[in-house]
Amino acid sequence: MKRPLDRGLIIRLVAVMVMGIAILVTGESDAARYSYDNTVIPENSIPKLDRQSYIFLTEYGRELQEISSMYGVDWRLVLAVMRQESAFDPSAVSYKGAEGLMQIMPSTGIQLASLHNIEDMSNPYMNLKLGVIHLRDMMRDFPEAEGKNRLELAVAAYNCGLTRVQDAQAVAQFLGDNPNSWVAVRSALPLLSSRYEPLHKHIWSSGKPASGYFGEYEQTLTYVENVMQYYNIYANALNR
């Protein structure tokens, strides 16, 4: 006597076949079709290394690992920052003027280039080097933070600036939270907007945050979330 076929199993098998055909037809995985903007990408949506990351690593993987090792930064974290910043486009330029793979702002680039004897900031290798140095410096600015918190604070500072994050730390500390916890700082960033001026008067003698009011906190929160999700994906896909 034959067993009746499991209808649910049949549906799942058909779905897998359809996905496989789609990948064969397009020549890329679903992950490679994501737009790398400020949209939060679900952590489980990219099960393996996507085509865009693979192409970049084929061309710059060795240099990425060498530079990251030189400055003591996990190269997979650098890869995650780069993916969010430029989607691996060495010619990318933001509306604010940030350039290259690591989207270095001109003022930051000039300062770092002078300190590290770098002349051509537009060169992809040099741009990558400046970005790694800058990310390393951000991590050094949070010596009291530990583990993942330190990475998240550094990534936030890479995006919105060190002084912005320090202002949020001041708010977190005033409210009795841990200023070295990203969860606390994440909650404090929205409180840097001008609508919380009464609170600011109790924290800063000038009556407002040291780096001024901050209204673009949502972009920074999304940025950190995306980078850390990418980092988690790379840490699992590139664990050797």
Kindly name the residue from 43, 85, 119, 225 that is annotated as catalytic: 85
Sole residue written with tokens 């486009």 = 89
HSE (CB half, 13 Å, CA atoms) of 210?
Answer: 12
Distance CA 176, CA 194 (A): 21
Sole residue written with tokens 């992950």 = 31
Distance CA 179, CA 141 (A): 13
Cβ atoms within 10 Å, residue 94:
11
Task: Measure CA of the first residue to CA of the last residue in the chain; give whole Å.
Answer: 50
* CA-angle at 230, arms to 86 and 73, nearest 5°: 80
Active site residue 218: no
Q: Is the dihedral of CA 204, 208, 214, 218 positive or negative?
A: positive
Distance CA 181, CA 156 (A): 12
Catalytic residue numbers read 85
